[in-house]
Amino acid sequence: SDRVNSVAYSADGRLVATGSDDSDIAVWDLRTQLQIAHLEGHTQAVRSVKFSPDNKYIYSASDDSTIIKWKIANGQIEVRFEGHASEVNSLAISKDGKRIASGSNDKTVKLWNTTTGQTVHTFEGHKGSVKAVDMSKSGELIVSGSNDKTVRIWPVGKQAKVYEGHTSSIYAVALSPDEKSVAFGGHDETVRVLDI
């Protein structure tokens, strides 16, 4: 009866993972319609789940301020990412699987090394909770949306671009496939597209 907060497909379309308020992650095989893994390790609600590009791992973000990298084959924790000071709301992963980005209620966006669990960079500037993040295929560009009503474009190692003028909190962001624009939506029931 716990609310499901996030759903993700594996890249090959064979598996689906769900993250919910009960702090656990369920992994389902769509061919057999059976649950193949039940991942327990978070202490609070899971807000976001993502598969690695090679379908071997799942990343989960939680209200317990951590991100976990799970090995699907044995259900074990590979890496626990610690560094956010508050709930982690959103995750994005680079195409090569070497970096993840996260957005948190601590108002920061973090870029992580998926092998070591170390923070590569912390992006500061939002004045409210970061509710949504997306990342370019290369992992060199991150987009974030926040309760502060702004969308920020973070080129790694360079100055962020800030887009203001939205009338409400932003809960969803997505980079276009050509990475030339970003779509975002929020509490005001509109979806907008920015040329970046």
Dihedral, CA atoms, 82, 85, 86, 91, nearest 10 degrees? Answer: -50
Q: Write out the DSSP string of the chain.
A: -PPEEEEEE-TTSSEEEEEETTSEEEEEETTTTEEEEEEE--SS-EEEEEE-TTSSEEEEEETTSEEEEEETTTTEEEEEEE--SS-EEEEEE-TTSSEEEEEETTSEEEEEETTT--EEEEEE--SS-EEEEEE-TTSSEEEEEETTS-EEEEETTSPPEEE---SS-EEEEEE-TTSSEEEEEETTS-EEEEE-
**Tokens encoding 163:** 């887009």
Residue 44, CB-side half-sphere exposure with 13 Å CA sphere: 12
pTM of the model as a whole: 0.94
Alpha-carbon distance of 36 to 101, in angstroms, equals 27
User: With 0-12 CB in 10 A as exposed, 13-18 as middle and 19+ as buried, what is 74?
Assistant: exposed
Alpha-carbon distance of 31 to 156, in angstroms, equals 40
Over range 28-38, report the average pLDDT: 96
pLDDT band at 70; cut points 50, 70, 90: very high
Q: What is the pLDDT of residues 128-180, one digit of tens each?
A: 999 999 999 888 899 999 999 999 999 877 778 898 867 889 999 999 999 99
Percent with pLDDT over 70 in the chain: 99
Say if residue 32's pLDDT is above 60.
Answer: yes
Alpha-carbon distance of 140 to 129, in angstroms, equals 22
CB 143 within 8 A of CB 101: no
